[in-house]
């Protein structure tokens, strides 16, 4: 697929995938970024790479996203690989620096412009949240929840259900966080696209904000207010999406670690704490 023999590789250890993520140098001097995963140790991971290959193939060339060179899909039970442009860039610093966060917000405006209307025919985010993210209704042992969630559990289940009507025209990333961002001296690139769906641009801010606060950035409401589309967002819809995201992180943090992903639950737990605090502020529930 690359047209030349791989001569050297440098592994990229950030993120949560149990697969390969490497910068490669080819015999002819060119470079590429290669990510690949098979059915072991996590049988769900190939489907994510397969979905990302579908999304990346549809993104416009002027998107702030590394260019897709090509992909290989061995089908059910096999490996899936993507080869992308190797961007000479770094992840944002942790804790977050205000200047880098401002660059990401500005980059998000470019991303929204490039991906509105959506170049990919894919379900609306509201339906996706109901099907795959809403989790307060999945809690079968409320005694394991924090005290605030136990008190509000019935209202939380009712609130998260209202995300069904959230809809828009922008192709959303839905998993923006520091390890899915690359910064060059001049540009911001958004990477890892298996969770892309269509909706209002501000939904990406709701999904992104808890990780920013957890990693030393501002409180969620501060980041949200600066995001493209936030000023025109329906406050009730925003609160419903915050409830959905908070429930996802809270519920998933209680589950056993997925095969090959030993650090994921702690990361979700920390985001859940931030998201619940944000939700309590928006709802006024005590």
**Interval 81-92: pLDDT, tens:** 999 999 999 999
Sorting pLDDT into bands at 50, 70 and 90, what band is 143?
A: confident
Q: Which residues contact 263 (CB under 8 A, 6 or more apart)?
A: 16
Distances (CA, A) of 35 to 30, 32, 47, 110, 173: 17, 10, 13, 25, 18
Above 90 in pLDDT, residue 201? yes
Above 80 in pLDDT, residue 18? no
pLDDT at site 80: 96
Above 90 in pLDDT, residue 203? yes
Sorting pLDDT into bands at 50, 70 and 90, what band is 259?
A: confident
Give dist(CA 276, CA 282) in Å, integer. 10
Give dist(CA 9, CA 34) in Å, integer. 9
Decide which of 263 and 177 is more confident.
177
Sorting pLDDT into bands at 50, 70 and 90, what band is 137?
A: very high
Task: List helix spans (H) across 25-97.
Answer: 45-58
Q: What dihedral do alpha carbons 145, 149, 150, 154 form, nearest 10°?
A: -130
Long-range contacts of 129-132 (CB under 8 A, 24+ apart): 129/160, 129/163, 129/164, 129/166, 129/241, 129/244, 130/161, 130/163, 130/164
Q: What is the pLDDT of residues 235-249, one digit of tens each?
A: 999 999 999 999 999
DSSP state of 254: T
Mean pLDDT of all residues belonging to the chain = 95
Give dist(CA 87, CA 92) in Å, integer. 14
Burial class (CB in 10 A: 0-12, 13-18, 19+), 211: buried
Give dist(CA 75, CA 195) in Å, integer. 19
Give dist(CA 240, CA 71) in Å, integer. 37
CATH no. of 6-84: 3.30.200.20
- When pLDDT is averaged across residues 6-35 and rounded to a whole number, the result is 88
Above 90 in pLDDT, residue 261? no
- When pLDDT is averaged across residues 131-147 and rounded to a whole number, the result is 93
Positions of CATH 3.90.1200.10 in the chain? 98-283
Above 70 in pLDDT, residue 16? no
Positions of CATH 3.30.200.20 in the chain? 6-84
Peptide bond into 41 cis (omega under 30): yes
Above 80 in pLDDT, residue 100? yes
Question: What sign does the CA torsion over 51, 214, 178, 228 have?
Answer: positive
- When pLDDT is averaged across residues 228-239 and rounded to a whole number, the result is 98
Which fold would CATH assign to domain 98-283? Aminoglycoside 3'-phosphotransferase; Chain: A, domain 2 (3.90.1200)
- When pLDDT is averaged across residues 175-201 and rounded to a whole number, the result is 97
pLDDT at site 43: 86
pLDDT at site 14: 64
Give dist(CA 95, CA 214) in Å, integer. 9
Give dist(CA 133, CA 191) in Å, integer. 21
pLDDT at site 141: 85
- When pLDDT is averaged across residues 34-40 and rounded to a whole number, the result is 94
- When pLDDT is averaged across residues 54-71 and rounded to a whole number, the result is 96
Above 80 in pLDDT, residue 13? no
Sorting pLDDT into bands at 50, 70 and 90, what band is 144?
A: confident
Above 80 in pLDDT, residue 122? yes
């Amino acid at each position: 697929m690359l047209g030349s023999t791989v001569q050297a590789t440098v592994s990229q250890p950030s993120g949560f995938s149990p697969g390969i993520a490497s910068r490669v140098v080819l015999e002819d001097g060119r470079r590429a970024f290669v990510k690949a995963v098979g059915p072991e140790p996590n049988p769900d991971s190939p489907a994510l790479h397969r979905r990302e290959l579908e999304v990346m193939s549809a993104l416009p060339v002027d998107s702030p996203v590394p260019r897709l060179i090509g992909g290989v899909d061995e089908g059910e039970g096999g490996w899936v690989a993507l080869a992308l442009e190797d961007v000479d860039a770094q992840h944002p610093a942790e804790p977050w620096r205000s200047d880098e966060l401002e660059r990401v917000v500005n980059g998000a405006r470019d991303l929204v412009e490039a991906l509105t209307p959506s170049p990919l025919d894919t379900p609306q985010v509201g339906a996706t949240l109901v099907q795959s993210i809403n989790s307060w209704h999945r809690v079968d042992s409320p005694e394991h929840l924090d005290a605030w969630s136990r008190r509000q559990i019935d209202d939380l289940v009712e609130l998260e259900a209202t995300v069904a009507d959230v809809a828009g025209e922008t192709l959303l990333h839905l998993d923006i966080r520091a390890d899915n961002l690359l910064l060059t001296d001049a540009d911001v690139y958004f990477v890892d696209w298996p969770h892309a769906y269509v909706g209002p641009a501000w939904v990406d801010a709701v999904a992104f904000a808890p990780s920013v606060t957890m990693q030393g950035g501002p409180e969620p409401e501060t980041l949200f207010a600066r995001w493209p589309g936030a000023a025109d967002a329906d406050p009730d819809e925003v609160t419903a999406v915050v409830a959905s995201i908070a429930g996802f992180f809270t519920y998933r943090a209680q589950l056993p670690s997925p095969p090959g992903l030993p650090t994921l639950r702690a990361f979700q737990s920390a985001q859940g704490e931030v998201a619940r605090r944000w939700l309590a502020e928006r709802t006024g529930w005590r």
